[in-house]
Amino acid sequence: MNNTSLVCLDVGEKRIGVAVADSAIRIAVAFDTIVVDGDELNKIAEIVIREDAKTIVIGYPRNQQGETTAQTSYVERFAAQLEEVADEIVFQDESLTSVVAENRLIAMKKPYSKGDIDAQAAAIILEDYMESH
């Protein structure tokens, strides 16, 4: 993996969790949560430009049997809309990341929102991606 910034998305129909990382430092940070309101592609493009990211990592949902679902199709369609935003779009398994994310937030003993869970899940997806590449 070249030294570059990465942006990761945990795509949902209501919210999109965003995490960022510099591949040299290899630390993913929960960055933001974008509300799906019709302007989400522009907001993602702004983040990609600001972070000078060449790659967008997108959480790839499957059911517990490892099969694709309606959510998988939604994420694939969403990813196709981002093809002009970054040089590379890659998928990373997102199995159980929301559960792990919520457990992390509980351990912090501070109030958190569903959006915080989404952003933290994106950070976990990005950590998994960096560990495997």
Give pLDDT tens digits along the chain (133 positions): 556 899 999 999 999 999 999 878 889 999 999 999 999 999 999 999 999 999 999 999 999 999 999 999 999 999 999 999 999 999 999 998 988 899 999 999 989 999 999 999 999 999 999 999 8
Q: Rounded to whole angstroms, how far apart are CA atoms 5 and 21?
A: 6
For residue 106, give the CATH number of its domain: 3.30.420.140
Question: What's the total number of domains in the chain?
Answer: 1
pTM of this structure:
0.93
Q: In this structure, how many other beta carbons lie within 10 angstroms of the beta carbon of residue 87?
A: 11
Q: Rounded to whole angstroms, how far apart are CA atoms 25 and 33?
A: 23
Q: What is the distance, to the nearest Å, from the Cα of residue 92 to the centroid of all Cα atoms in its chain?
A: 9
Q: Which domain holds residue 69?
A: 5-132
For helices 97-107 and 114-132, what crossing angle results, to 10°? Answer: 120
Q: What is the DSSP letter of 130?
A: H
